Each structure stands twice: as C-alpha cells, then as structure tokens.
Structure 1
Amino acid sequence: MRANGAYNVAKERCDAFRGNDQDVCVKEAKLAHVAALASAKVVQANTDARADAKDDIREAQYKVEAEKCDTQTGDSKAACIKAAKAVYGKP
C-alpha cells in the first residue's frame, strides 16, 4: 500500500534528526500515515456506498416493472416478467 511505503520513507528521513526534532519528525510521519489510511477508507466507503445505492435503485426499478406486469395475464404477463428480469439482471 502506498501509505505504508510513504510512511517507511518518511521514518527513514527522520533518522537524520536527533532528539526532539527526530521525535517530532516521526510523529509527523505517523500523522501523514494515519491521514492517508483514513482517506483511503473514506474513498472505499464511498465506492461501496455508490455500489449499494446502484443495486438498491436497480432493485426498485425491477419491482416497478414487475408490478406493471401484474396488469397482464397468461403468456403476455410471463413475457413481461421475463423481459423485466432480463433488463434488471434477475435470475
């Protein structure tokens, strides 16, 4: 992961310092690492949320189309439901 690599490089740079300056450098590197990891989590959460929302919308759209099929009977109803399933990826 990039954040881990950047953190390791930043810690190595801190070796050039001594005492409090080194402590501060290490803490700043850790801060950047934590921030990068948190940012990555947010991006992943947003991606997952978008995918979930898309799935929810498709499910609702399918239910609307299936409900519209209820006005039909026999073969036309079966064909209508089959077409709705095909459009919305239902088995």
Structure 2
Amino acid sequence: MEDAEFDGALGRLAQGYGEGVYEGRRYGVTVRRSADGRRNSLFARELAGTDIVSFNLYRTASDRALLKPCEMSSEKVVAFVLEFRPDA
C-alpha cells in the first residue's frame, strides 16, 4: 500500500481513544502506534450500532506499508480513515 493521503489522514488521528463521526454516525476510535512508528493499529466501534473497523499497518525495513484489515476489506478501512472526522 503506497498512499500518501491515507498515511496523512492516519497520522492526523491522535494516539489513544477519541470519538468522532463517519458517514453521519458516531464512533469511538482507539489508535496505537509503536515507539518507532513501524506498527500502527486502529479499532473503531460505532457507538449506537454494530459496525466496527479494525486494522494493523506495518512498515517494513524498506519503508513499505503493509495494511492488514481485520476481517473486512481494505476499501472499508481506507474509506474510514479518509472520511472519519474526530471531535475537536
């Protein structure tokens, strides 16, 4: 995966827990990053529903990004990261 827009959007999400809106619905989101930035994870749960978004992103020694969605499509993960709007 080589997408600067996705990387930028993920990088703007604060580490730890936060809430915000995606597709008009509220989500609680937890972002975790390793100290070296090579391992990232996101887990999001719709607060008033059943939807979840979950993935791990690994950066290789050659700085290649490997997106590993958890039981969902990569397209769903990318759309969520690009369109999620955290609370101010």
The bucket for the TM-score relative to the shorter chain is under 0.3
- TM-score for the superposition, normalised by structure 2: 0.23
User: Which structure: greater helix fraction?
Assistant: 1
Higher relative contact order (CA 8 A, sep 6+): 2
- TM-score for the superposition, normalised by structure 1: 0.22
Determine which structure has more spread, i.e. the larger CA radius of gyration: 1
